[in-house]
Amino acid sequence: MRNHLSALEAAVSPGGMLTGSDIGPRYHTDTFGRSVPAPEAVLRPASTDELSRALKICHACGLAVVPQGGMTGLVSAALPRSGEIVVSLERMNRILEVDRAAATMVVEAGAILQNVQERADAEGLMFPLDLGSRGSATIGGNIATNAGGNMVIRYGMTRGLVLGIEAVTANGDVVDSTFHYVKNNTGYDVKQFFIGSEGTLGIVTRAVLQLWPRPAERAVAFCSLASFADVVSLLNQLRTSLEGRLVAFEAMWESYYGIAAALPGIRLPLSAGKPFYVLVEAASASQGEVVPLLESALGNALAEGTIDDAVLAKSETEARSMWHVRESALEVLGLKRPFLAFDVSLRLDRMEGYLADVQRQAALICADAFVSTLGHLGDGNLHVGIQYPGSDPHMPDRLKATFYRVTGDHGGSISAEHGIGIDKRAYLHYSRSKSELALMKAVKLAFDPKNILSPGRIFDLGEN
Ligand SMILES: Cc1cc2nc3c(=O)[nH]c(=O)nc-3n(C[C@H](O)[C@H](O)[C@H](O)COP(=O)(O)OP(=O)(O)OC[C@H]3O[C@@H](n4cnc5c(N)ncnc54)[C@H](O)[C@@H]3O)c2cc1C
């Protein structure tokens, strides 16, 4: 290992490799505070060439590596495992180019999402990927996880917001797929192999992002509703009446909203006690358009009895305060630690039956289990938290196994947007067929025959 480390240090520019006590906890601790032993080395390449040289050495020596962005991932994928070297993209964080006419931006993979959003805004444009972790998450991490977030209902997931990618594969080869246009039917769409691959097929170094026109105005409202059927009706009414201006539709069950009030700093926009709450955001290209439109749509929904009550944010501060209720999910669920957080997709017409089943099956394992639900409902994405008493060390595994089995039984996806990583790989078969798994493994072997890039994430090559 020592010889390899010297070679690696020579491959990167000064400050490009950390070892020993220079490796801070952030390279081996995740967003939940889970910590693993420090890696032998952290590589911090400053350019694609440096990364390419370093990976050639790792490949020749059979050294496993794991790429890291902002470490906000929720499935333990970026935590180094025994013997793995960390590759952090933190020194490759520049915004390289903005083309206002074409509405594109070229960034290095370590660029922080919020910096990208702010730069787009300064250019009169918008990068519409938005997550609660925007202040730390990186574009490389967003690409590797195909991140979703708050505005997927209008702008799609990361997969649809990336026009081109540069990545370095396991053997150090640089794959240049940095196209700047949407249409390109010249064979396989190479960038898509890397998007959502959780660092297993290559390390993304650069991306060409698709920007959007910046809305001139936004309107945010909070509603309470009596039934799930009403939530679905409201979604469809708003889709129709706002004509493409609906950008977020976030549902919160009373099981979440009711406990959110206990988190310091949260101000509930409507009183607790109703079965459902929905945060709605609409945006438009012209001033003075979307507020009256949303007001009128909610007025109609109130008159028809679809919603029980509604409040429209009168200022940016009020809008942020409403979003804070939704975006504090991890903190709210953590109020009664320990908890398990799940991220699933389902057909809308299966959700009620599914959640009743989850509740029933969780109670069979643990009478005190408390199931709390919220989610990007417009995308069919639920975030489910299960809080449980911490006395039984086997409880998390039992709850997880049951939860994912029930999700599979209801035809759901066990990961809507967070990925599989290490945490969910034992349950991947509930959402993917044998033939799909075989194909995924063949792709992995074609890109990385020595299995040195993020080994064991998504699946283990040895498993059936
Ligand atoms: C408060 C909070 C809210 C969140 N909300 C959402 C949400 O709404 N939607 C959503 O989708 N996610 C959400 N997340 C999860 C997380 O923020 C995303 O998965 C994010 O895309 C991870 O980016 P990162 O830079 O932190 O990646 P990391 O956590 O560092 O890494 C994540 C994965 O990407 C790989 N990776 C990182 N950089 C690269 C690279 N350059 N090349 C190849 N692989 C790489 C890692 O190896 C790992 O597999 C949330 C997390 C938190 C803490």
Q: What is the pLDDT of residues 212-258, one digit of tens each?
A: 999 999 999 999 999 999 999 999 999 999 989 999 999 999 999 99
Distance in angstroms (rounded) separating the CA atoms of residues 197 and 457: 9
For 201, residues 6+ apart whose C-beta sits below 8 A from its C-beta are 167, 169, 193, 194, 443, 444, 447, 448, 453
Half-sphere exposure at residue 171, Cβ-oriented, CA atoms within 13 angstroms: 8
Q: Whose CA is nearest to atom 11 of ligand 1?
A: 147
Q: Out of 82-96, 99-113, 195-209, 375-389, pick the least confident.
A: 375-389
Please give the distance of CA 379 from its chain centroid, rounded to a whole number.
Answer: 13
pTM for the complete prediction?
0.95
Hey, which of 42, 74, 193 would you mutate to test ligand 1's pocket, going by the most ligand atoms within 8 Å of its Cβ? Answer: 74
Q: Residue 418: CB within 6 Å of ligand 1?
A: yes
Burial 122-153 (b: 16+ CB within 10 A, else e): ebebbbbbbbbbbebbbbbbbbbbbbbbbbbb
Q: Directed axis angle between helix 351-365 and helix 395-409, to 10°?
A: 150
Q: For a pLDDT cut of 70, what percent of the chain falls above it?
A: 99
Q: Residue 66: CB within 6 Å of ligand 1?
A: yes
What is the dihedral sign for C-alpha 342, 348, 352, 353? negative
How far, in Å, from the CA of 33 to the mean position of ligand 1? 15
DSSP state of 52: H
How far, in Å, from the CA of 145 to the mean position of ligand 1? 6
Burial 416-437 (b: 16+ CB within 10 A, else e): bbbbbbbbbbbbbbbbbeeeeb
Q: Which atom of ligand 1 is nearest to the CA of 205?
A: 41
For 250, residues 6+ apart whose C-beta sits below 8 A from its C-beta are 150, 278, 279, 280, 326, 374, 375, 376, 377, 378
Q: Which of 57, 110, 49 is nearest to 85 (CA)?
A: 57
145's tokens:
């996880």
Q: Residue 145: CB within 6 Å of ligand 1?
A: yes
How far, in Å, from the CA of 30 to the mean position of ligand 1? 11
Q: Within 10 A of 115 (CB to CB), how many other CB atoms are there?
A: 17
How far, in Å, from the CA of 78 to the mean position of ligand 1? 9
What is the dihedral sign for C-alpha 336, 338, 343, 349? negative
Hey, which of 133, 166, 168 would you mutate to test ligand 1's pocket, going by the most ligand atoms within 8 Å of its Cβ? Answer: 133
Distance in angstroms (rounded) separating the CA atoms of residues 359 and 122: 46
Residue 464 has pLDDT above 60, yes or no: no
Residue-wise pLDDT tens digits, 371-395? 999 999 989 999 999 999 877 889 9
Distance in angstroms (rounded) separating the CA atoms of residues 367 and 360: 10
How far, in Å, from the CA of 252 to the mean position of ligand 1? 23
pLDDT at 1: 60
Residue 81 has pLDDT above 70, yes or no: yes
Q: Which atom of ligand 1 is nearest to the CA of 139?
A: 25
Q: Residue 31: CB within 6 Å of ligand 1?
A: yes
Distance in angstroms (rounded) separating the CA atoms of residues 122 and 53: 36
C-beta of residue 111 within 8 angstroms of C-beta of residue 139: yes
Q: Residue 454: CB within 6 Å of ligand 1?
A: yes
Q: Which atom of ligand 1 is nearest to the CA of 147?
A: 11
Q: Residue 402: CB within 6 Å of ligand 1?
A: no
Q: Whose CA is nearest to atom 20 of ligand 1?
A: 142
Bond into 215 cis (ω within 30): no
Mean pLDDT across 324-341: 90
How far, in Å, from the CA of 438 to the mean position of ligand 1? 26
C-beta of residue 294 within 8 angstroms of C-beta of residue 215: no
C-beta of residue 142 within 8 angstroms of C-beta of residue 197: no
Amino acid found at 340: L
* Residue recorded with tokens 């029980």: 308
Q: Which atom of ligand 1 is nearest to the CA of 66?
A: 47
How far, in Å, from the CA of 73 to the mean position of ligand 1? 4
Residue-wise pLDDT tens digits, 434-446? 999 999 999 999 9
Amino acid found at 281: E
Q: Which atom of ligand 1 is nearest to the CA of 204?
A: 42
Distance in angstroms (rounded) separating the CA atoms of residues 59 and 51: 12
Distance in angstroms (rounded) separating the CA atoms of residues 165 and 203: 10
Distance in angstroms (rounded) separating the CA atoms of residues 349 and 412: 12
pLDDT at 126: 97
Q: Residue 70: CB within 6 Å of ligand 1?
A: yes
Q: Residue 68: CB within 6 Å of ligand 1?
A: yes
pLDDT at 32: 86
Distance in angstroms (rounded) separating the CA atoms of residues 464 and 457: 15
Burial 321-355 (b: 16+ CB within 10 A, else e): bbbebbbbbbebbbeeeebbbbbbbbeeeebeebb
Give the pairing type, strands 125-126 and 212-213: antiparallel
Mean of the per-residue pLDDT values of the chain: 96
pLDDT at 58: 97
Q: Whose CA is nearest to atom 19 of ligand 1?
A: 73
